[in-house]
Amino acid sequence: MSIEDDLDAVFKALANPVRRAICDALKLRPLTTKQLCACFEELDRTTVMMHLRVLEEAGLVVPVRKGRERFNYLDAMPIQAIHERWIGPHAAAAATGLHRLKQGLEQDATEAHSR
């Protein structure tokens, strides 16, 4: 699987609002599947498990069995990869553009003031 395929899987997983909510629930600490199901009372256990499977396949959730319980850990590294590939470069370009705009406006203001 290529890096682009990995990123596609992450985008696809995060495209669903329930899966984003599961990731949000896991941000602070790992939760058991039972605890996650309690967070999403409107969904049955099978549906929560289906969403967890998609998140696992995208590398966003890492399950760890401890006895009879399955703890789900958020792995933010795939999100970091998206940031590095898509957000970071665009943010840098936008910041550069804003800096140039600011310089141009300041220069125009200075020229207008000196007239």
Task: Identify whether the C-beta of residue 39 lies closer than 8 Å to the C-beta of residue 31.
Answer: yes
Please tell me the total number of residues recorded for the chain in this structure. Answer: 115
The model's pLDDT over 8-37, given as tens digits with 9 standing for 90+, comes to 899 999 999 999 999 999 999 999 999 999
The model's pLDDT over 24-71, given as tens digits with 9 standing for 90+, comes to 999 999 999 999 999 999 999 999 999 999 999 999 999 999 999 999
Q: Is 55 exposed, middle or buried (0-12, 13-18, 19+ CB in 10 A)?
A: buried
Q: Where are the domains of the chain?
A: 3-75, 77-115
pTM, rounded to two decimals: 0.73
For 3-75, give the CATH class.
mainly alpha
Return the exposure string of 61-95: e unless at least 16 CB atoms fall within 10 Å of the residue's CB, then b: beeeeeeeebbbebbeebbeeeeeeeeeeeeeeee
